[in-house]
Chain A
Amino acid sequence: AQSVAQPEDQVNVAEGNPLTVKCTYSVSGNPYLFWYVQYPNRGLQFLLKYITGDNLVKGSYGFEAEFNKSQTSFHLKKPSALVSDSALYFCAVSDHGSSNTGKLIFGQGTTLQVKP
């Protein structure tokens, strides 16, 4: 069965420092990986995805993620955190088994707190 793990419930970082939100996955076949962000009282917003190609994927709001096949990880990163980045972040993998319907399997979410 395919699964996603976000090992940290919360990540705290000071404004201006680099941030990393961790995600590991377990899939059969090639992984299609996604990051979404949920700001307070808002819906999920797409940040970026990895399908194939370059292991470093760039996305919205200055975020990027690094795909590492050997470590089965897809960590979300940003060189310099902003207070406005404080939100709930979800990693997901697309279930592309025999049905290939694109349903997403999510991790539990990581709350990012950026302090001034």
Chain B
Amino acid sequence: EAGVTQFPSHSVIEKGQTVTLRCDPISGHDNLYWYRRVMGKEIKFLLHFVKESKQDESGMPNNRFLAERTGGTYSTLKVQPAELEDSGVYFCASSPRGISTDTQYFGPGTRLTVL
């Protein structure tokens, strides 16, 4: 069974540019989460999809971030325009039921560097 995959593994862009990150969850997992780790700090929640619907987007930092999950399969996270403080590692995770006792399975992350 394939795990969670993320693309690209690393992205380097200039301030003001746009970047789109992609996450493919484990097949059959309706629940998809995005997290971010900035500057060696703790990993922070960004948002949670149940199928194609945003269940919780309380962690999205501002309106420069747009997440989508059309069709309830893969998800994209677009940053437009990117700022220096957006640099960090973006993780995606998926789980089958989306409840508090579920294990979330993480992808390898996308390291975003904004220059």
Contact = CB atoms under 8 A, between A and B. Distances in A.
A105 B45 CA distance: 7
Contact of A103 (B6, B42, B45, B91): B45
Q: Interface size bucket, A side? A: 20 to 34
Given A46-B105, A96-B100, A90 B43 contact: yes
Given A101-B55, A104-B35, A43 B108 contact: yes
B106 A101 contact: no
A32 B101 contact: yes
Interface in A77-116: 90, 92, 94-96, 99-109
A60 B6 CA distance: 24
Interface in A12-56: 32, 34, 36, 42-46, 49, 51
Given A100-B99, A101-B55, A106 B107 contact: no
B104 to A, nearest CB: 6
B31 interface: yes
